[in-house]
Amino acid sequence: MMNDWQTELLEQAAYRMNENTPRIAACLAELHEEEVWLRPNAASNSMGNLVLHLCGNIRQYAISGLGGQPDVRTRDEEFAAQGGPTKAELLAALTATVHEALVIIQNSDEQNLLARRWVQGYELSGIGIIMHVVEHYSYHTGQIAFWTKLLKNKDLGFYAGVDLNVKNQR
């Protein structure tokens, strides 16, 4: 039986992960295929690179680190790609990876959440892994949104219909 804090942690992690996938899908929908692999400059990555990177990172941390599956990540290839999968293929890979990770996250018990393990050279608890995955996913979702806005000069409507000026209540 899960404690209230465990349930809340896992529900909030899933909420944030599920919030980001449609945002990336909306960005990809705005782009032409060649724009997905366009790099703003030599020091930056394309949106295609970022989606590959998200798949690799989520797999390494959540699916391997938290879920105990083999670590098959080839991180350098995520950034070296200068083309490859289509928008549809990238989104399908991301969606499948996030789904697989969320199954593992949502089925984590207290022992798995508190156990420490080494992931990508860092010693983390299961909670630390979840925090990393959620934060990292959000971080790169923001980069993809920003790059899309620059290319398309348009508001992506992520908060359409939401009054963000409402004051906090207790």
Residues of the chain with pLDDT under 70: none
Residue with tokens 């630390």: 128
pLDDT in tens, 91-141: 999 999 999 999 999 999 999 999 999 999 999 999 999 999 999 999 999
Q: Is residue 158 part of a domain?
A: no
Q: Is residue 157 part of a domain?
A: no
Q: Is residue 55 part of a domain?
A: yes
Domain of 35, CATH number, reads: 1.20.120.450
Averaged pLDDT of the chain: 96
Q: Is residue 170 part of a domain?
A: no
Q: Is residue 94 part of a domain?
A: yes
Question: Are 117 and 132 contacting, i.e. CB atoms less than 8 angstroms apart?
Answer: no
Q: How many domains does the chain have?
A: 1
Q: Is residue 40 part of a domain?
A: yes
Question: Are 109 and 127 contacting, i.e. CB atoms less than 8 angstroms apart?
Answer: no
Q: 107, 8, 97, 114: which is closest to 67 by C-alpha?
A: 107
Domain with 23 in it:
4-152
Residue with tokens 């992960």: 17
Q: Is residue 102 part of a domain?
A: yes
Please give the pLDDT value at position 3.
Answer: 87
Q: Is residue 167 part of a domain?
A: no
Q: What are the angstrom distances between the C-alpha of 156 and each of 30, 36, 110, 111, 137?
A: 9, 16, 38, 40, 18
